[in-house]
Amino acid sequence: MSSVSGIALGRVISWSINLFVPVSTSVGGESKKKTGGKKKKKVSSTEETKDAKSSVLERKEMLFFKKVIAAMFFASLYAFVPTFYTTCKKMAGALSHPSIMFKAQTNKGEIVLVDDYRQAYWWLKKNTPEDARVMAWWDYGYQLAGIANRTTIADGNTWNHEHIALLARALTHTEKEGHRVARHLADYILVWGGGGGDDLAKSPHLARIANSVYRDMCPGDPTCRAFGYVDRYGTPSPMMEASMLYKLHSHGLKEGVIADPNRFKHVFDSKFGKVRIFKILNVSKDSKDFVADPKNRICDVEGGWFCRGQYPPGLNKVLSQARTFSQLEDFNRKKKDGEDDDYTKKYFENMADPNKAKTQAMKEDVKRRNAERKSENKQPQTTAKASERRVPQIPHQSSQWEDTEYTTLLWELISKKDVDTLTALLQENQHLAHVRSSDGRGPMWWAYEFRSESVVKVLLKHGVSFKEKDKYGKTPLDLIK
């Protein structure tokens, strides 16, 4: 947009200047005449004089009109330039001096100074060993290194996409799998919280990055639509809720969400909850010694300063699942026959119809989890009992009724009478039994509509009533009359 705007502005400026300072367009000192090969019509000298005068007047009037337009353009440009220049100076100053402290207003209207980020970095500097390694999303790498003076896993200059994907995989995979990676790379984990653009809000993007290299993250779902929020109330999808990042982000803040005390120890919360720090338990000493040993660094020349490290052997199993990343939209790249064709095709299909992709992805995710439990001969369970996890969001008011990916998914499961998948989904997120679409109808209405007694029984176990009314004043019972 900057280039196109610059070209347009340059053309207008050039045209305006040429009106006041004409540039000759003659070639070789002689102007070209177009005769078109036709014989000129003879006219009297009087008529020629009139035509010439009229033509001159028209040209003068048109030239005057063009000069007026050019003058108005220059005047508006002159009025705009100082404002543009001032804005650019302010933006340049702000962007070249990023601040980790800012003023904010509380719910009571009080103006406070939010100093959470500096507090967190300073805490790390004062309370952790000098050789401590901190795992955090790459956005905060420079600040961790510069203020906390601690080694970080990645920063803004990390060009290795596979390494960023490994970090994303650890954060967005299950708590157990995330810890398996983290214990070989770091001693502490720093998480941004407090809402807004925190780590949980970014996490769907992290999951997609992880899946670009580790395809087991979101099988058959290149855009990772199954990872994210379910509704506008911030309810996490089953995949998000199971992630290590969600456990650390919401530890002790949301009912029933507790980080595994055998894997993590909560050591710091900033004043306004913007930053949380956890100590990783059972850190691999062998892996830490391996990466600290200079012999395990690969230098461009012997004794050189440019050296890259190696992953410790403890990560070999995870790294064996990685696939070298290549930009899907790069149509000029060379590839082997059949390489990633299915993945690429699925990726663009999902981008073309994201809502359909998200519904299908959530359905497949629930089926996969249910199949895994059955193969392990285990009943569906969560880290806490369903009644302890959260109070379900039951939308009784029409202002809370809306069509979402989950209402679509529930309707599809009930219409096909897929009781097993529905049961698994509701046991992971019991509040979904109470969701209502924009017409005020929900799972119980659809169960009666499709005459599914088994679905009705499942819903009754989750406390869903068949006496509620929809937008038109009808109860589920009315659908079978």
pLDDT at position 207: 93
Reported confidence tier of residue 28, pLDDT bands at 50, 70, 90? very low
CA-angle at 277, arms to 275 and 278, nearest 5°:
150
Reported confidence tier of residue 334, pLDDT bands at 50, 70, 90? low
Work out the average pLDDT over 72-91.
Answer: 86
pLDDT at position 36: 47
Tell whether the model's pLDDT for residue 184 goes beyond 50.
yes
Residue 265, strand partner residues: 279
Spatial separation of the C-alpha atoms in residues 221 and 243, rounded to whole Å: 17
CA-angle at 18, arms to 14 and 22, nearest 5°:
150
Work out the average pLDDT over 234-252.
Answer: 91
Tell whether the model's pLDDT for residue 166 goes beyond 60.
yes
Spatial separation of the C-alpha atoms in residues 407 and 439, rounded to whole Å: 11
**Minimum mean pLDDT among 204-208, 311-315, 376-380: which range?**
376-380
Reported confidence tier of residue 175, pLDDT bands at 50, 70, 90? very high
Block residue for tokens 């120890």:
265
C-beta of residue 443 within 8 angstroms of C-beta of residue 406: no
pLDDT at position 148: 96
Residue ranges per structural domain of the chain: 111-299, 393-480
Backbone angles phi, psi at 267, to 5 degrees: -115, -15
Work out the average pLDDT over 367-382.
Answer: 59
- Edge-first strand order for the sheet with 275-280 is 151-152, 133-135, 188-192, 275-280, 264-269
pLDDT at position 32: 46
pLDDT at position 49: 64
Spatial separation of the C-alpha atoms in residues 94 and 448, rounded to whole Å: 60
pLDDT, averaged across the chain: 81
Which of 63-72, 276-285, 351-360 ranks highest by mean pLDDT?
276-285
Q: What percent of the chain has pLDDT over 90?
A: 31
Tell whether the model's pLDDT for residue 338 goes beyond 60.
no
Tell whether the model's pLDDT for residue 233 goes beyond 90.
no
pLDDT at position 463: 87
Longest dimension (CA), the chain: 110
pLDDT at position 100: 83
pLDDT at position 92: 86
Reported confidence tier of residue 477, pLDDT bands at 50, 70, 90? confident
Identify the DSSP state of 236: B
136: which 2 tokens? 């955090």
**Minimum mean pLDDT among 6-20, 108-122, 274-288, 333-347: which range?**
333-347
48-60 tens-digit pLDDT:
665 665 676 567 7
**Minimum mean pLDDT among 90-94, 180-184, 468-472: which range?**
90-94
Spatial separation of the C-alpha atoms in residues 262 and 407, rounded to whole Å: 37
pLDDT at position 327: 57
Reported confidence tier of residue 473, pLDDT bands at 50, 70, 90? confident
Reported confidence tier of residue 398, pLDDT bands at 50, 70, 90? low
Tell whether the model's pLDDT for residue 27 goes beyond 50.
no
**Minimum mean pLDDT among 116-120, 245-249, 430-434: which range?**
430-434
257-291 tens-digit pLDDT:
999 999 999 999 999 999 999 999 999 999 999 99
256 phi-psi bin (left φ>0, alpha ψ -120 to 50, beta other) = left
C-beta of residue 251 within 8 angstroms of C-beta of residue 257: yes
Higher-pLDDT residue of 394, 122: 122
Spatial separation of the C-alpha atoms in residues 371 and 315, rounded to whole Å: 27
CATH code linked to domain 393-480: 1.25.40.20
Block residue for tokens 């040209």:
59
Higher-pLDDT residue of 98, 131: 131
447: which 2 tokens? 């169960």
Closest CA to 200 of 245, 170, 231, 244: 245
Amino acid residing at 105: Q
123: which 2 tokens? 């805490």
pLDDT at position 224: 85
H or E stretch including 190? strand 188-192
Whether 393-480 and 111-299 are alike in CATH topology: the answer is no
pLDDT at position 34: 44
pLDDT at position 385: 41
- Fold exhibited by the domain 111-299: Rossmann fold (3.40.50)
